[in-house]
């Protein structure tokens, strides 16, 4: 989703720049200015969140806060530019220092997010340094797009503050040059994405590679990453409630092969697949048995909601892991409380 929005916003930005610069829309449709600045504030967050998705398989808890600057700009644009200064036109909007300040902030945002994304890439490559993945070009090409836009923003501010009308050749060429560079970069990304589509499958990015005729083992470094992802899909995504869950489904969910999952569970957790899944299911059953909202549910319903195929299998496993039956467990804990 975030990568799709990143491309959509980039092409809308190029389109609005072309219309403003060469289509004569600067005076007739000054509202297009809001597109260029708003998109610049959004590009960094969109790309960072995309990297979070492919590297960590989850988003930060407060990820919407990344878009606060973009919406603060909208408030500024509507209130300050349209109401206080008004009427909205190119002359009012582009006056110095108002516009120079906004562009400086977008430049700061782009460079800040470039640094954060670069940090994500470095951390990812460190975790998977033993794996041979052909994704470096993709990772660095994407971040280069917002770096170019950051440089472009600095050039805009420099033009306003230092060059202005004293260098007509610079004024005539810098904007077409950056539009050309951005377009070429986006086309290169699109071409590479179509040509190497399989490269960007989640299991590839997670390092689930298998050499011909020889299976790769799971190193301690890789195990730490995979175990973190496994914890996420089990605790956050609640994968264990799927009654048809098997090793293949679980392996796919964390981006590895089935044999790697077996190694991960047996070697690093000391559990079989069934034991690992049932641990989560029994914990969920205990929670439901003591929760006032579900404690009166029928045992069959609780068994199904926890991922068990039948009530009898639920009873057998519950007693195996707790030493008591579900009802005995429920009664003992309710009386104790």
Per-residue pLDDT reduced to its tens digit, 206-238: 443 333 333 456 778 888 888 999 999 999 999
| Both tokens assigned to 177 | 């040059």
In the chain, the number of structural domains is 3
Would you say residue 290 lies in a domain?
yes
DSSP characters over 149-176: HHHHHHHHHHIIIIITTS-HHHHHHHHH
Distance of CA 319 to CAs 28, 81, 224, 302, Å?
Answer: 75, 69, 31, 15
Residue 123, pLDDT above cutoff 80: no
DSSP state of 81: I
Q: Which residue has the higher pLDDT, 209 or 143?
A: 143
Q: Are residues 67 and 177 in the same domain?
A: yes
Are the CB atoms for 99 and 81 separated by under 8 Å? no
- Whether residue 43 sits in one domain with residue 170: yes
Other residues' Cβ atoms within 10 Å of the Cβ of residue 62? 7
* 31 φ/ψ angles, rounded to the nearest 5 degrees: -60, -20
Average pLDDT over residues 62-87: 81
Q: Assess whether pLDDT exceeds 70 at residue 18.
A: yes
On whether the CB atoms of residues 35 and 12 are closer than 8 A, the answer is yes
Say whether both 238 and 127 belong to one domain. no
Taking the C-alpha atoms of residue 178 and residue 103, their distance in angstroms, rounded to an integer, is 15
Interacting residues of 59 by C-beta distance below 8 A, sequence separation 6+ = 49, 52, 53
Count of C-beta atoms within a 10 Å radius of residue 303: 25
Q: How far apart are the first and last CA of the chain?
A: 46
Stretch 130-158: mean pLDDT = 70
Sorting pLDDT into bands at 50, 70 and 90, what band is 6?
A: confident
Co-location of 221 and 305 in the same domain? no
- Give the separation between CA 13 and CA 24, rounded to whole angstroms: 16
- β-partners of residue 214 are 211
Decide if 210 is inside a domain: no
Q: Which domain holds residue 266?
A: 217-270
- Taking phi over 0 as left and psi of -120 to 50 as alpha, with beta for the rest, 257 belongs to beta
As given in the structure block, the two tokens for residue 189 are 């990304």
Q: What is the pLDDT of residues 279-298, one digit of tens each?
A: 999 999 999 999 989 989 99
Q: Compare 194 and 78 and report the one with higher pLDDT.
A: 78
Q: What is the mean pLDDT of residues 251-265?
A: 88
**Residue at which a domain ends, from 185, 205, 225:** 205
Please give the pLDDT value at position 323.
93
pLDDT reported for residue 171: 58
Residue 152 lies inside a defined structural domain of this protein: yes
Q: Output the pLDDT for position 97.
A: 63
**Residue 211 DSSP SS3:** strand
On whether both 134 and 48 belong to a single domain, the answer is: yes
**Dist. CA 323–CA 306, nearest whole Å:** 18
pLDDT of residue 198: 44
Half-sphere exposure of 28 toward its Cβ, with a 13 Å CA cutoff? Answer: 8
**Are 160 and 229 in the same domain?**
no
CA dist 10 and 149 (Å) reads: 10
Domain boundary (205, 234, 259) is at 205
- What is the distance between the alpha carbons of residues 90 and 114, in angstroms, rounded to a whole number? 30
Higher pLDDT, 4 or 332: 332
What is the total residue count of the chain?
A: 337
Contacts of 19 (CB under 8 A, 6+ apart): 25, 29, 32
Q: How far apart are CA 133 and CA 121, in angstroms?
A: 13
259 and 320 both lie in a single domain? no
Distance CA 186, CA 145 (A): 8
DSSP state of 257: -
Residues 6+ apart with CB under 8 A from 325: 315, 318, 319
* 196 and 257 fall within a common domain: no
Q: Any idea which of 29-33, 40-44, 106-110, 230-234 has the lowest mean pLDDT? A: 29-33
Predicted structure pTM score: 0.54
Residues 114 and 192 placed together within one structural domain of the fold: yes
């Amino acid at each position: 989703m975030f990568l799709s929005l990143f491309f959509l916003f980039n092409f809308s930005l190029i389109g609005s720049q072309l219309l403003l610069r060469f289509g004569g829309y600067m005076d007739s449709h000054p509202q297009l200015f809001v597109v260029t600045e708003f998109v610049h504030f959004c590009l960094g967050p969109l790309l960072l969140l995309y990297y979070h998705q492919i590297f960590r398989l989850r988003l930060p808890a407060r990820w919407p806060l990344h878009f606060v600057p973009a919406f603060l700009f909208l408030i500024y644009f509507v209130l300050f530019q349209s109401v206080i200064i008004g009427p909205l036109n190119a002359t009012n909007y582009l006056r110095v220092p108002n516009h120079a300040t906004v562009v400086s902030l977008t430049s700061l945002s782009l460079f800040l997010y470039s640094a954060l994304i670069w940090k994500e890439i470095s951390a990812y490559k460190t975790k998977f340094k033993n794996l041979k993945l052909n994704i470096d070009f993709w990772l660095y090409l994407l971040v280069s797009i917002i770096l170019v836009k950051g440089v472009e923003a600095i050039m805009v501010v420099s033009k306003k503050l230092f060059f202005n009308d004293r260098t007509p050749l610079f004024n005539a060429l810098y904007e077409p040059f950056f539009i050309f560079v951005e377009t070429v970069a986006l086309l290169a990304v699109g071409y590479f994405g179509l040509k190497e589509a399989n490269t960007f499958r989640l299991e590839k990015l997670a390092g689930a590679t298998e050499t011909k005729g020889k299976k790769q083992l799971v190193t301690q470094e890789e195990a730490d990453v995979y175990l973190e992802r496994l914890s996420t899909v089990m605790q956050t995504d609640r994968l264990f409630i799927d009654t048809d869950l098997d090793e293949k489904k679980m392996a796919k969910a964390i981006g590895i092969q089935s044999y790697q999952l077996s190694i991960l569970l047996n070697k690093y957790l000391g559990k079989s697949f069934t034991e690992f899944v049932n641990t989560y299911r029994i914990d969920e059953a205990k929670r439901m048995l003591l929760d006032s909202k579900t404690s009166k549910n029928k045992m069959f319903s609780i068994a199904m909601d926890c991922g068990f195929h039948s009530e009898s299998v639920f009873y057998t496993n519950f007693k195996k892991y707790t030493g008591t039956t579900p009802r005995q467990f429920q009664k003992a804990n309710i009386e104790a409380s």
